[in-house]
Structure 1
Amino acid sequence: MTRNTRLTLAMILLVILVMIVGIAVNRNIGRPAASGAPVDEAVLVREDSHRLSTAPDGKVTLVEFLDFECEACRAVHPSITEILDTHQGRITFVVRYFPISSHPNAELAARAAQAAAEQGRFPQMYAALFDNQEQWGHQNTPQTDRFVGYARDLGLDVDRFRQDLDAPATARRVAADRADGETVGVRGTPTFFLNGRELTGVRTQSDMIAAIDAALAG
């Protein structure tokens, strides 16, 4: 076989490979987000799990395992807020803590959210932590003073907030969420579960809405 013949055959094979990849990509365009295997919903959502919205019919439940210091979690936060607004009363949205050990203030931020929850202000602290993440995130020193400042801005009892922030029960509550996440296979954040199945292939707000709308229609 001559050198020119080998080059010609190589080019033909390359063209065929490109065509195959192109067909595969085109087939995936427009497909709804895929879902993983079902997990134990009793582990996925606990009685004391934080719910930012509740659907009376209980038909659709979206669970997010998140890290308040995770930039991807902050990036998706506005989309989640908009989805909850547009689907008000139609979906139950549950937040679970999953602080990543490589994020220096992630566990402390989760405890701040839980300390606020003890005074009935979890949604407000949840929003404050994401809205101000650029100020406190990825700092090598504990951001306790900032979190106390958010508590003060939210009108919380600051002394009680400080006590709850450092309480062993608060740390156990955060650790319990993370343990549940590990049980259902969470490896990073954000990780979403829709009606007991992990959502995969969700890259845009439209993907998320399509998955939720399909569940509502099912």
Structure 2
Amino acid sequence: MSRRMTVLVIASVLVIAFAAAAIWFKSAQSPEQTTASPPTASSLVRFHSPVIGAANAPVTIVEFFDPSCEACRAFFPLVKKLLADNPNDVRLVLRYVLFHEGSETAARILETARKQGLYAEVLEAVMASQPQWHDDPQVTMAWAAAEQAGLDVSKAKAEMMSAEITSTLEKDAADAKAVGIRQTPTFFVNGRSLPSFGSQQLINLVESEVEQAK
């Protein structure tokens, strides 16, 4: 083979290789392959969202949670500790994702408690009693626990189906879908998702954000 022919063959191979690489790169950047854009602040925190902790805290934990979720119950003491350890620097914003049977009623109990100024107290009681009412469509023991925490049950049952509470649950469901929530709990800290799911990952991200805020 002549030198000129060899050069032409090599050039042809290079052209084909670059073309193949370009096709692969384009396919790798298709919508199905790219990472979803991070959620906007407005899709994480809404004016109607319940907040626990200092309203002006520089670090915000957003938790998409289901009151019936056993993993949410397992994380609850850790989240409380993060708030207690950083009373001026960390606040918690809760968003409802209702995956389980009875979850909607439990969420409505919490929202009626918020109207009565007892959100944190009733949340504590409902989560503590969760094993007793988990998967009960009537969440009977959740009602009992909420009453022991001070909830006016008669008033709550009269208000639980209000348009305002229904709107809150519907907006949370829409935001959870927009953000792509597939499991509970799912956490964001100042808009950042955890690098992977786990208690230590949540602790590390909160501590990092608190340190940066100082």
Give TM-score, length-normalised by structure 2.
0.76
The answer to whether 1:127 aligns with 2:124 is: yes
Equivalents in 1 of 2:194, 2:133: separation in Å? 29
Superposition pairs of residues 36-55 of structure 1, within 5 angstroms? 37-54=37-54
**Identical columns (%):** 32
Count of matched residue positions in the alignment of Structure 1 and Structure 2 = 177
Any conservation in 2 of the 1:55–1:89 contact (CA below 8 Å)? no
The structure, 1 or 2, with the larger RCO (C-alpha pairs under 8 Å, 6+ apart) is 1
User: What do you get for the CA RMSD once the two structures are aligned?
Assistant: 1.8
Superposition pairs of residues 21-170 of structure 1, within 5 angstroms? 37-54=37-54, 56=56, 58-100=57-99, 103-139=100-136, 141-143=137-139, 145-170=140-165
SS, match of residue 49 in structure 1? coil
Any conservation in 1 of the 2:125–2:149 contact (CA below 8 Å)? no
Structure 1 residue 176: Cα displacement: 1.4
Structure 1 residue 203: Cα displacement: 1.6
SS, match of residue 173 in structure 2? helix
Give TM-score, length-normalised by structure 1.
0.75
Structure 1 residue 49: Cα displacement: 1.0
Structure 1 residue 182: Cα displacement: 1.4
What's the counterpart of residue 166 of structure 2?
171
SS, match of residue 194 in structure 2? strand
Structure 1 residue 37: Cα displacement: 4.8
Equivalents in 2 of 1:178, 1:53: separation in Å? 23
CA radius of gyration, larger in: 2
The answer to whether 1:211 aligns with 2:205 is: yes
Q: Write the deviation string for residues 63-121 of structure 1: whole angstroms up to 9, x where unpaired.
A: 00000111111111111111111111111211111111xx1111111111111111111
In the alignment, structure 1 segments of 5+ residues that lack a partner are 1-35
Structure 1 residue 200: Cα displacement: 3.2
